[in-house]
Amino acid sequence: MNTTKETTCPCCGEGSLRTLKRDYIANIGEGQKLHVPNIEMEVCDKCGEEILSLESARAVDAAIADHTERLTPNELRELREQFGVDQTEMSEALGLGGKTFHRWEKGTQYPSRSMGYYLRLLREFPEAFEWLRSRRWKGRNRHVTREQSPEAEMQQRFPALAQNRVRLTTAMTDRCNYAMVLLVVQ
């Protein structure tokens, strides 16, 4: 009876599990899947449930971390502390669910590959974080009218320009995205 119990699928309770090695298809977020080759697993012959040993699960996790160039929980915490916000504020700024950043720092969930790129971009260009956090594009939509010249629009968005407190240099174009827009004013 013990043998039967061990091989019965815990998911459907009907099929039997058999051990085999094949590609494990991991869901890595944003509709993307990663094929991890040669993973040992138990598969139910009825419902198809795949059961991975701890060792196999670790191998899959390592493959995903490598493929997604995953940021570590420590890196994520340092990134957030760089901006001086708590986990909830960080989630909100990024447009994520309130607990998401908390889960990333705990290591129970991970940012996707594209989110990892985006977070690295913010780390490199911290001034963009304030722009993001204050949803500066909304202000732009509210205030810009068709009659405005690009110069007037830029002066409204960046009052420092109108007051000649900021000098535009080509070096700025290397520093951040909207510096490209600032070129319009020159």
Interface with Zn ion by CB under 5 A: which residues?
A: 9, 11-12, 15, 44, 46-47, 49
CB of 12 to Zn ion, least distance (A): 3
**Following CA atoms 162, 136, 104, 69 in sequence, which dihedral angle do they give, to the nearest 10 degrees?**
-70
Of the pair 40, 49, the CB lying nearest Zn ion is at 49
Q: What is the residue whose two structure tokens read 């504020």? A: 89
User: CA 174, CA 153: separation in Å to the nearest integer?
Assistant: 22
> What are the DSSP E strand ranges found in 54-101?
none
Of the pair 47, 65, the CB lying nearest Zn ion is at 47
Of the pair 10, 159, the CB lying nearest Zn ion is at 10
User: CA 44, CA 60: separation in Å to the nearest integer?
Assistant: 19
CB of 173 to Zn ion, least distance (A): 59
CB of 46 to Zn ion, least distance (A): 5
CB of 43 to Zn ion, least distance (A): 9
Of the pair 44, 182, the CB lying nearest Zn ion is at 44
Do the strands 33-44 and 50-52 form a parallel or antiparallel pair, or are they unpaired? antiparallel
User: CA 72, CA 80: separation in Å to the nearest integer?
Assistant: 13
Which secondary structure element, helix H or strand E, spans residue 119, and what is its range? helix 113-124
